[in-house]
Amino acid sequence: MSNSYKYIDPDFTYTDPKTGLLRNLQDITDPDVLLFVESSVVTKRLQELYENPMKIKGIDSLFKIHRNLFQDIYVWAGKKRSVEISKDGKQFFPTAHFDNAFKYIDQLIGEFKKISKNNKRNLAEKLSEILDNVNYLHPFREGNGRTQREFLRLLALEKGLRLNLNPPDNKSVYERYMKGTIESDVNTLTKLIFELIDTNENGA
């Protein structure tokens, strides 16, 4: 996690005031251990979603994915954040207006579902628009990136397409993804997603 993230959390809702670490279900107090354990349990849960894909019904599915991925480590897995977050001086979506954002993202998902599975250009454009809005929403205290990448993968899968925004053997893909999300550059995200999506022979 980047040190440039800032959180307004005077009541220490999410962090232990002594260690500064996120409160976790395993009472881990060492940052390196927490990073390792979190990565391990999330990787395991991601594999489960690969084996048993979830149907994306709307924004609620984003919360379901987060709960699935982080249920072993955080008690607030799958719950919207109650603190404000900023990165490099840019504030993410304010919590007071979450409901309006949820409705808008649901609308975008509905539009995506209406696009023909053969129209990859339009699918890529809509996926990047959804990604840009979900990233700006940043609804969780931690784990937003991993959750939204899985959310996009599952949406693409519903159209019989494969999409991996963080391939282990291609660092440039992740760098372009980060650039597109940080700068809210939908064109960069569209180009990247269009290049990445391909037909899933085992797709739905």
Residue 204: its pLDDT value, please?
39
Burial (CB count within 10 angstroms: exposed 0-12, middle 13-18, buried 19+), residue 191: middle
- 8-state DSSP, 71: T
Query: What per-residue confidence (pLDDT) applies to 202?
Result: 43
* Cβ-proximal residues to 39 (8 Å cutoff; 6+ apart), any chain: none
Task: Report the C-alpha gap between 161 and 204 in whole angstroms.
Answer: 9
Cα separation, 29 vs 42, whole angstroms: 19
pLDDT confidence of residue 163? 96
Tell me if 165 sits within 8 A of 127, measured CB to CB.
no
Q: Name the pLDDT band for 200 (thresholds 50, 70, 90).
A: low
pLDDT tens sequence across 118-173: 999 999 999 999 999 999 999 999 999 999 999 999 999 999 999 999 898 889 99
Strands in the chain per DSSP E = 5-8, 84-87, 90-91, 161-162, 198-199
pLDDT tens by residue, 18-27: 999 999 999 9
Note the Cα 82 to chain centre separation in Å: 17
Predicted pLDDT of residue 6: 86
SS3 content of the chain, % helix, strand, coil (to 5): 55, 10, 40
Instruction: Report pLDDT digits (tens) over 94-127.
Output: 999 999 999 999 999 999 999 999 999 999 999 9
Integer CA distances (angstroms), 52 to 45, 59, 140, 152, in order? 10, 19, 23, 16
Between 3 and 159, the more confident residue is 159
Asked if residues 32 and 133 have their Cβ atoms less than 8 Å apart, the reply is no
Q: Is the CB of residue 157 less than 8 Å from the CB of residue 200?
A: yes
Mean pLDDT confidence for 64-75: 98
CA angle 30-35-38, nearest 5°?
115
Q: Under DSSP, is residue 5 helix (H, G, I), strand (E, B) or coil?
A: strand
Please name each of the domains of the chain with its CATH number.
Answer: 5-199 (1.10.3290.10)
